[in-house]
Amino acid sequence: MKFYKKAVSLAEQIDPSDPCNEALYKVAYFYQNGIEVEKNLQKAIDFYQEAAYNKHEKSMNALGSLFYNELKEYSQAAEWFRNAASHGCPRALNNLGICYEFGHGIEVDMDQAFQQYKESSDKGYIPAKYNLACIYLLKARNSNLREHYKESANLFLQVLAKDDSKTEAYFYLGQFFE
């Protein structure tokens, strides 16, 4: 951690308008998780925010995750996910989709959830492919359209090609063949 702090300090000395965002992100991560320091969520938020205000999308998404998972402040989380998603962050797009799907911090909107998952999936983010497959499966069950079943199955297969430990995908694929 001391090297990341040193990187932050040196970057601020060289050009205060151009901080070392990746180092800020790492320092925040260490504080969030209590690595080499006592866990301190407020310090984590402060470091993440400093990088986020400089358009560091990983820090924006990390703030959203911290607010979502640790503080259960879903509206704050959704806002940070939205900010990161606007910069094209695949993980944030998926996380924003989760917020839309379950109404965490924003109104339930399955069309928006679908769009966020789709954009993230198109960028190759595997958890989004899984979530999108589940949405297609839900649509298929509601409409009984063969195309939705096929799309769901194809996405589950793509997930398993990258992560064959995703047992739920096997379960859903098994249901297609009953």
Q: What are phi and psi of 55, to 5 degrees?
A: 65, 30
Q: Tens of pLDDT along 31-71? A: 999 988 899 999 999 999 999 999 999 999 999 999 999 99
Query: In the predicted model, is pLDDT for residue 7 greater than 70?
Result: no
165 near 129, Cβ under 8 Å? no
Q: Tokens representing 40?
A: 């301190």
Q: Smallest Cα–Cα separation from 60: which of 92, 14, 105, 97? A: 92
Distance separating the N- and C-terminal Cα atoms of the chain: 53
Question: With 70 as the cut, is the pLDDT of residue 18 above it?
Answer: no
* pLDDT for 21: 84
